Chain A
Amino acid sequence: MGNPTAERISRDEYFYGHKACAGCGGSLAVRAALKVLGQNAVSVLPAGCMSAVGFNFPQLCFSNNSIISTFAGTASMLTGIEAGLRAKGHTDFTAVGFAGDGGTADIGIQALSGAIDRNDNIIYICYDNEAYMNTGIQKSGLTPFGARTTTTPAGEHIHGNLRPKKNMFEIAAAHGIPYAATASIGYLPDFIKKVEKAAKIRGTKYIHVIAPCPTGWGIAPDQTVEIAKEVVDCGLWYLAEYENDSFTLNHKPKTFSSVEDYLKKQGRFRHLDAADLETIIQSRDKKWAFIEKNFSYR
């Protein structure tokens, strides 16, 4: 009995023997994307979890050409790799970057914005685990409201992070990028389809994939995939695409599953009270009203 998604991607492993924590969502995103792009992918990894776990000298876990960039320079290094290989006459390759949420939404945003502006032929994948996990769980621009991190601790008066999650998907789309998408490792076939699609489009492609971190989220290692599914099912994340100047929603939950259940499974949200929950549900409903109005759904 064949699995249609497994049949479409490479049987070879390009990210193997890495030292990521057991149940790491980010490593699953990198592994799946490289199995789509294959041996000729040239990957760029800024300082962050995936470079820390992939290049433990002399353990070199990528089986394709890979390089570590500066924290801020994922997209600019992709630009250089693409231009360099093109200048040397190579045509059969994909320049792909894997940066975390901090490396994308905070530190690497100007390099990414510049690459999109130049419309360089690259794929930029942001694996979003919602904080700087590699350095010990500090808040990033993509940490959601209410999450406890080491820099936004939960106390009596302040309940974790006070700011909402930055909307990186629509920030990328606002550049008029050829292709941008959101995904979740809980819906892996959808993510794989989006990477396949991105590989066929010329110009800059941006994919934002939710990749839970058991260590930082306070969940068991075996919960990574189901929590990544649940965040979509409860409406706090959505699967969408942007191309040809318009937004498309790919998956519409019939009814949302409980936001409270999703949050209470995670150590980082355990301190939230009823008022915080109400704030989160209201912001979800506001987001979905925006989606209903501006996204098409097939």
Chain B
Amino acid sequence: MKPYLREKTTFSASEVPQATAFEAGYLVSVNSGWRSIRPVIEPARCIGCEQCYLYCPDGVIAVQNGKAVIDYDFCKGCGICAKICKTGAVRMEAERE
């Protein structure tokens, strides 16, 4: 995975795709603007069972040090993680921005 858009570095013309055949995994825009609600992890309740990681359609959840962590740049707020969580460690909150 190469999330170029998050590394705010300069780049040359050869690094910019000029046709649809280009390096795989070239991302230029985030999906966070799609969200009206966002999942929030309560670390105290999270047991690191990785069910949310497994069932996330966007693959934005990773378990680090035994706790789920969400990549909010690409989370669309579908809420599958909150439904699948057996311990109720994922809470859906309204986006405030």
Chain A residues at the B interface, C-beta cutoff of 8 Å: 1-3, 5-6, 11-13, 15-25, 27-28, 31-32, 55, 57-66, 188, 214, 220-226
Contacts and interface: CB of A to CB of B under 8 A. Distances in A.
Contacts of A221: 76, 78-80
Contact of A223 (B29, B50, B77, B83): B83
Given A188-B54, A221-B78, A60 B47 contact: no
A179 B69 CA distance: 37
Contacts of B48: 1
B20 A3 contact: no
B11 to A, nearest CB: 12
Nearest to A11: B62
Given A1-B66, A58-B28, A59-B27, A23 B79 contact: yes
Contacts of B17: 57-58, 60
Interface residues of B, number: 41
27 contacts: A1-B66, A3-B51, A11-B62, A16-B27, A16-B58, A16-B59, A17-B3, A17-B27, A17-B31, A18-B58, A22-B34, A22-B77, A23-B79, A27-B58, A31-B58, A58-B22, A59-B28, A60-B24, A60-B26, A65-B24, A66-B24, A188-B55, A221-B76, A221-B80, A222-B78, A223-B83, A225-B55
Nearest to A15: B59
Given A57-B17, A222-B80, A24 B57 contact: yes
Interface in B41-83: 47-51, 53-59, 62, 66, 74, 76-80, 82-83
Contacts of A65: 24
Given A1-B48, A13-B1, A22-B77, A55 B58 contact: no
Interface of B is mostly: loop
Contacts of A16: 1, 25, 27, 58-59, 74
- Kindly list the 9 A-B residue pairs having the minimum CB-CB distance in the complex, ordered from nearest: A222-B79, A23-B78, A63-B25, A3-B50, A22-B78, A22-B76, A221-B78, A28-B57, A13-B59
B26 A222 contact: no
Contacts of B78: 22-23, 214, 221-222, 224
Contacts of B13: none
Contacts of A11: 62
B97 interface: no
A20 B21 CA distance: 20
